[in-house]
Structure 1
């Protein structure tokens, strides 16, 4: 099991933050990406659905299951797609430019149209309640090259994750 701690003085090294994301493939091999809204940590940057882990409560382990539950919650909050944590598979772990640790889970493939519909419903509900969605746009890409075609910037780990996704897809 993977255990991530923000700081383990005996065995680990300081970790400024831990974040989770969901690699959401489509049934035709593309990958869902979203652009952060102006109110987010990375406004205008393309990224996977996800977010930073807040410190857990006293006595609560920051283990794979805790991270998986948080990733599932991020997917429903940002895309409107409900997936059970059990359906998320630990996919990879990355280290960001500033030492943050990213834990990335892969969701089962879904039709792009269904994901787009869920996202549209989420946006409509958020706007109706006077809130802005966390992702102001979603798109589907096949490769890291297509990230450049979206315009704007992307979070630093996205090209690596997009390349890994593309390499994992059957030719």
Structure 2
């Protein structure tokens, strides 16, 4: 079910996915104090940081009974990522995020560059964002991730897709063990993508901000990523595999 490339990003060819909530791993008092100290220092440097709700991936396991990939997760907040900076920490939290492979008619995928005010300024990636724990007693399941992916698509490039039309394309595990759940959306015209992103940018600038993705590009191969700049670790693998699927089709 898995394959690893030279970029040390693991790919799970998982078309079935199940999420199971588990308890947050226990931290020692020293680890918790160090986490809080690192977080406070980060906020002092960047006051806009918000200790909002997040989802930590605790484990990944293939279930042979139903051929599903099982992701165990726990609800945390962003400050838990500071544990990655603590040497010898008993637990290094991995994040779960979603992305959308948005094809354009004629071939290629939409990628965007993160604006300067985002967590990864200047980095090229697919439209997407970190998963959040459910509220009001709802479940974190595949349907919830699909809805979140569709929401990110609207918020980042202005394109609307029905969540029911989006399918699980694959799962990656990269830096820090972060898990990416990648959805494939129906193709749309390139002109529509560019126009909707232009409208979105105008609306955000009118509010005194700016779009999360300040530039878009259409890529059909890994070679197309050359010259764009720094990319998310999973992006070359995803683009390469998607291009390979189109070639075989």
**Bigger share in strand:** 2
- What is the SS of the residue equivalent to 2:183? strand
Alignment partners' CA distance in 2, 1:58 and 1:101: 25
Q: Number of aligned pairs?
A: 168
Residue of structure 2 aligned with 1:119, choices 194, 197, 222: 197
Instruction: Tell me the SS of whatever aligns to 1:103.
Output: strand
Corresponding residue for 1:31? 109
1:79 aligns with 2:157: yes
Aligned residue in 1 for 2:235:
158
The counterpart of 2:207, out of the listed 113, 129, 138, is 129
| Pair 1:4-2:19 in alignment | yes
Residues 38-57 of structure 1 aligned to structure 2 (within 5 Å): 38-57=116-135
Greater relative contact order (Cα < 8 A, sep 6+): 1
- Structure 2 gap segments, 5+ residues each: 1-15, 25-57, 60-72, 74-92
Gaps in structure 1 of 5+ consecutive residues? none
The structure 1 segments of at least 4 consecutive aligned residues displaced by more than 4 Å after TM superposition are 5-9
Give the distance between the partners of 2:98 and 2:21, measured in 1 at CA.
14
Matched, 1:98 2:214: no
Q: Which has the larger radius of gyration?
A: 2
Does the CA contact (< 8 Å) of 1:6 and 1:16 recur in 2? no
TM-score, normalised to structure 1, is: 0.91
